């Protein structure tokens, strides 16, 4: 074995690109394999015989393929983001914004709720003993199962639009934050706490000067998980509203009308949104840690 200097390209970029290339190859093969029966079927109905050389190009350009080819999805994405005005109901940017606003609102509320609960749990023994098991148990309930009901019930008492979806995101996102923050707020060791004690620091001072800074790395790690599942919550929250607006609505209407390309485009948009959100939190994480002097 030769030990060489680690290079970003060879150790990080190249393997990922290779795997992506392999996935793309498999995808194209699958497109041909999955869509060919339809082409053969069409040809049989028309009474013609198609050769393999004729089938392959046709599988890449079907209107409602079983598996769309990547270029079709990119074309659809281009068509619905760049080529359409943002205000149009057919614009994916508009739908993404609807979902994003619910996600961010729910994420914000979930973060505040999670931090408050964690502070309470760390400072009050009764809350710790009685609340913590239920916080964990609450997550074994598939809240997404209740999502449609929350939406419909809130709608019937006149609350509709952003808030119901945001509430589902809140419910999903508060959990990782509570768990992470409780761990983080308890992470300063006994020596440091004793030091604060010898300084005669009040509970508030101990909290702001010791516990809070110590918990920040844990907070950011939790935030990354939380924002990703907030997005899932917002998307699922859009399902029962009858496919009006948002990425979830696009998925549902695509599923109703067999518009596979539309589903895939919405899926890719959601994936891109999740990636951007998580990386924004990641950037904030490194920035804050740098300012705190944790990383050179």
Partner 1 sequence: MNGYILAALAIWIGAWTLNEWLVRQRPASAQAKQAVGIIVPVIFGATLLAVWECLVYGFQIPPILLPAPSAIWVKLINSVPVLWADFQQTFLKSVITGYIAGCGLGFAVALLIDRSPFLQKGLLPIGNFVSALPVVGIAPIMVMWFGFDWPSKVAVVVIMTFFPMLVNTVQGLASASHMERDLMRTYAANWGQTLIKLRLPAAWPFIFNALKINSTLALIGAIVAEFFGTPIVGMGFRISTEVGRANIDMVWAEIAVAAVAGSVFYGLVALAERWVTFWHPSVRGGRA
Lookup result for tokens 């959601």: 270
For partner 1, the binding residues in 118-147 under the rule CB under 8 A are 125-126, 128-134, 137, 139-146
Least Å from the CB of residue 101 to partner 1: 16
The nearer residue to partner 1, 73 or 115, going by C-beta atoms, is: 73
Reduced to 3 states (helix: H, G, I; strand: E, B; else coil), residue 48 is: coil
| Choice from 73, 102, 105, 270 touching partner 1 (CB under 8 A) | 270
The nearer residue to partner 1, 185 or 196, going by C-beta atoms, is: 185
Cα–Cα dist 123/127, whole Å: 8
Q: Does 278 bind partner 1 (CB under 8 A)?
A: yes
Q: What totals of helices (H) and strands (E) does the chain contain, helices first?
A: 13, 0
Which range binds partner 1 by CB under 8 A, 106-114, 180-188, 200-208, 257-265? 257-265
The nearer residue to partner 1, 39 or 235, going by C-beta atoms, is: 235
For partner 1, the binding residues in 57-96 under the rule CB under 8 A are 66
For partner 1, the binding residues in 215-244 under the rule CB under 8 A are 224-225, 228, 231-232, 235-236, 239-240
Q: Does 255 bind partner 1 (CB under 8 A)?
A: yes
Least Å from the CB of residue 209 to partner 1: 27
Handedness of CA 68, 74, 75, 79 (dihedral sign): positive
How many residues sit in the footprint of partner 1 (CB under 8 A)? 60
| Residues 6+ away with beta carbon under 8 Å from 286 | 295
Cα–Cα dist 259/220, whole Å: 38
Fill in the DSSP letter of residue 245.
S
CB atoms within 10 A of CB 48: 9
Cα–Cα dist 243/251, whole Å: 8
Which range binds partner 1 by CB under 8 A, 90-98, 148-156, 191-199, 203-211? 148-156
Q: Does 12 bind partner 1 (CB under 8 A)?
A: yes
| Choice from 24, 82, 195, 275 touching partner 1 (CB under 8 A) | 275
Q: Does 152 bind partner 1 (CB under 8 A)?
A: yes
Cα–Cα dist 174/194, whole Å: 31
CA 134 to the chain's CA centroid: 25
Helix, strand, coil percentages, rounded to 5, for the chain: 80, 0, 20
Q: Is 270 within 8 Å of 131 (Cβ atoms)?
A: no
Nearest of 96, 113, 94 to residue 169 by alpha carbon? 113
Q: Does 196 bind partner 1 (CB under 8 A)?
A: no
Q: Which residues bind partner 1 (CB under 8 A)?
A: 11-12, 14-20, 66, 125-126, 128-134, 137, 139-146, 148-149, 152-153, 156-157, 224-225, 228, 231-232, 235-236, 239-240, 247-248, 251-252, 254-255, 258, 260, 263-264, 266-267, 270-271, 274-275, 278
């Amino acid at each position: 074995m030769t030990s060489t200097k680690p290079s970003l390209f060879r150790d990080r970029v190249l393997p990922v690109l290779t795997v992506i290339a392999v996935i793309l190859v498999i995808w194209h093969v699958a497109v041909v394999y999955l869509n060919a029966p339809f082409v053969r079927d069409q040809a049989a109905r028309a009474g013609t015989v198609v050769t393999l050389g004729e089938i392959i190009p046709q599988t890449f350009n079907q209107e409602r393929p079983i598996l769309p080819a990547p270029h079709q999805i990119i074309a659809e994405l281009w068509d619905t983001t760049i080529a359409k005005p943002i205000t149009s109901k057919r614009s994916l940017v508009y739908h993404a914004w609807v979902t994003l606003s619910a996600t961010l609102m729910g994420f914000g509320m979930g973060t505040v709720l999670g931090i408050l609960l964690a502070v309470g749990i760390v400072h009050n023994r009764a809350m710790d003993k009685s609340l913590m098991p239920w916080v964990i148990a609450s997550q074994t309930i598939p809240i997404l199962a209740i999502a449609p009901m929350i939406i419909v019930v809130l709608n019937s008492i006149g609350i509709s639009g952003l808030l119901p979806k945001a509430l589902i995101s809140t419910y999903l996102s508060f959990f990782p934050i509570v768990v992470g923050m409780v761990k983080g707020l308890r992470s300063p060791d006994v020596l440091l706490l004793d030091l604060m004690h010898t300084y005669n620091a009040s509970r508030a001072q101990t909290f702001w000067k010791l516990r809070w800074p110590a918990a920040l790395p844990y907070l950011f790690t939790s935030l990354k998980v939380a924002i990703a599942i907030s997005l899932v919550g917002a998307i699922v929250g859009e399902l029962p509203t009858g496919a009006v607006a948002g990425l979830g609505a696009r998925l549902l209407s695509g599923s109703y009308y067999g518009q596979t390309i539309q589903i895939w485009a919405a899926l890719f948009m959601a994936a891109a949104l999740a990636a951007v959100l998580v990386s924004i939190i990641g950037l904030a994480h490194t920035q804050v840690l740098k300012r705190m002097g944790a990383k050179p």
